[in-house]
Structure 1
Amino acid sequence: MREVWAAVTTTQARPATGVVLVAAALAAALVVVGGVWPVTRRLVTIAHEGAHGVAALVSGRRLSGIRLHSDSSGLTVSRGPRTGPGMVLTLAAGYPGPALIGLGAAWLLSRGYAVAVLWVLLLAMALLLLQIRNFYGLWLLVATGVPLFLVSWYATGQTQSTVAYVITWFLLLAAVRPPWELQSERRRGGARGSDADQLAGLTRVPGVVWVGLFLAVNAACLALGASWLLAA
């Protein structure tokens, strides 16, 4: 634990701008390449459902469990009032969740804490693991967490830093795509049980406005996070 704490609290040299840009290009490929996105989108689902869970706990609701499904969907179940600010916060947290996590990671990287990014993500996944209620969700977290642990523990500092940048860029870039996909599905008459439509039922604010808000928050996080990552 002393070794981990020392690594987490020690700053690392920031990589060259070229490495940061290559990391961004690789992360973008994980988002835009058609055959890759259905797989990598599952990582966004982990962050999405984790954000629901955190919001539920912060708002005073009781978290009953989280399920991650093979079609890249997920479900977070919490107990408490079916209406009110707590329920609104819980529902609203999902889509901005990956972007906000990416923004936090970008802030750490801008200060040289690349290893801290990896270990914070590992800790978050370990806590999320306690709430998983289906086998696929368990498998997905283990399949994601084990490689992350191996990089955090055994890789060189340069490799750790590069991986941290790729993950951060991915979270920031990938967060923008799901709201677009959601609205596209809504236009075709689907996704009527989505977070945006449930929020519309609770607040009387149209679902399309909620989708626009998700997109605006995620785009703002991308812009701010990118400025931190690319700063000299």
Structure 2
Amino acid sequence: MASIDPASIGELWDRVFGSQPAPDEWVVYVTAVLALAVVVPHQVWRISRNAVTIAHEGGHGLTALVTGRRLDGIRLHSDTSGLTVSRGKPSGLGMVLTAAAGYTAPPLLGLGGAWLLVAHHITLFLWLATVLLIAMLVMIRNAYGVFTVVVTGAAFLLVSWLTGPQVQAAFAYTAVWFLLLGGVRPAFELQSKRRRGGAADSDADQLARLTGAPAAMWLFLFHAVSLCSLIGGGRWLLGL
């Protein structure tokens, strides 16, 4: 039986949990522009929004588990919509937190990622993202969802394992900027749909039924979390 080399374990530990050099300042700005380029144009957003949906539904699923609900499965669809099904009390704090976690998850993940990057834990961010995607993959219940999560997870894994510090930094900063910027747009899209009389069963409307507070209040919360995360995370990344 092969023995485990302590030196190899130590090397892996240092690689994952050690610090990496900060990228050049121009990399931070270029990655921000690149993230904007995949968030603002509508045709590109129709594709890149799939990644935000992964974070959105992952937020629902993780919060359901943390609050003691039973997670039955997650579906991701080609129109960038998604569905997370959990079992438990149909009301109460756990259900409220689960419903509120979707729109707030992408910007909060971006904020957490920004904190890791400015602390020079670039590889750790990439590995944590990979672990979360693998854990989510277990709960995916449709082929398109499996495809999108596998592709996204493979990108993080390959970059974290095969590339050097500068490529890792560029990829990680792009991903975090994307979560921060891409986390803002869905709340505005939901607001626009509700103004036109659509999205009657949105997260905001479900929260309104659960709490008695108006859907507009929950929509304001989604805006507040996403915009505050963008401002806070952006300031960290830009060193302001």
The TM-score bracket by the shorter chain reads over 0.9
Q: 1:150 offset after TM fit, Å?
A: 1.3
Q: Between the two proteins, what is the percent identity of the paired residues?
A: 53
Q: Which residue of 2 aligns with 1:205?
A: 213
Aligned-partner Cα distance in 1 for 2:218–2:126: 31
Aligned-partner Cα distance in 1 for 2:128–2:94: 26
The 4+ residue runs of structure 1 with deviation greater than 4 A are none
Aligned-partner Cα distance in 1 for 2:119–2:37: 26
Aligned-partner Cα distance in 1 for 2:191–2:112: 26
Aligned-partner Cα distance in 1 for 2:79–2:30: 29
Q: 1:205 offset after TM fit, Å?
A: 1.0
* 1:81 and 2:128 aligned: no
Q: 1:209 offset after TM fit, Å?
A: 1.3
| Corresponding residue to 1:154 among 162, 170, 177 | 162
Q: 1:228 offset after TM fit, Å?
A: 1.0
Q: Which residue of 2 aligns with 1:50?
A: 58
Bigger drift between 166-175 and 199-208 goes to: 199-208
Aligned-partner Cα distance in 2 for 1:56–1:5: 31
Q: 1:208 offset after TM fit, Å?
A: 1.4
Q: 1:15 offset after TM fit, Å?
A: 1.1
Q: 1:17 offset after TM fit, Å?
A: 1.6
Q: Which residue of 2 aligns with 1:192?
A: 200
* Aligned residue identity for 1:38: R
> CA-to-partner distance for each residue in 1:61-109, whole Å, 9 max, x for gaps?
1111111111100001000011111110000010010011111110000
Q: 1:206 offset after TM fit, Å?
A: 1.0
Aligned-partner Cα distance in 1 for 2:178–2:12: 25
Q: Which secondary structure state, in structure 1, belongs to the residue aligned with residue 23 of structure 2?
A: coil
* 1:231 and 2:211 aligned: no
Unmatched runs of 5 consecutive residues or more in structure 1 = none
* 1:113 and 2:117 aligned: no
Q: Which residue of 2 aligns with 1:94?
A: 102
Q: 1:188 offset after TM fit, Å?
A: 0.7
Q: Which secondary structure state, in structure 2, belongs to the residue aligned with residue 11 of structure 1?
A: coil
* Aligned residue identity for 1:144: T
* Aligned residue identity for 1:95: Y
| Corresponding residue to 2:25 among 13, 17, 37 | 17
Q: Which residue of 1 aligns with 2:133?
A: 125
> CA-to-partner distance for each residue in 1:21-57, whole Å, 9 max, x for gaps?
0010001111001211000000000000000011111
Q: Which residue of 1 aligns with 2:172?
A: 164
| Corresponding residue to 1:145 among 124, 136, 153 | 153
Aligned-partner Cα distance in 2 for 1:211–1:121: 27
* Aligned residue identity for 1:211: L
Q: 1:215 offset after TM fit, Å?
A: 0.6
* 1:176 and 2:184 aligned: yes
Structure with greater Cα Rg: 2
Q: 1:5 offset after TM fit, Å?
A: 2.7
Q: Which secondary structure state, in structure 1, belongs to the residue aligned with residue 89 of structure 2?
A: coil
* Aligned residue identity for 1:221: S
Aligned-partner Cα distance in 1 for 2:237–2:151: 27
> CA-to-partner distance for each residue in 1:134-182, whole Å, 9 max, x for gaps?
1110011111111221111111110001100000000001000000000
Q: Structure 2 length as normaliser, TM-score?
A: 0.94
Bigger drift between 178-187 and 222-231 goes to: 222-231
* 1:217 and 2:225 aligned: yes
Aligned-partner Cα distance in 2 for 1:181–1:132: 25
Aligned-partner Cα distance in 2 for 1:188–1:34: 19
Cα root mean square deviation, aligned: 1.1
Aligned-partner Cα distance in 2 for 1:202–1:88: 7
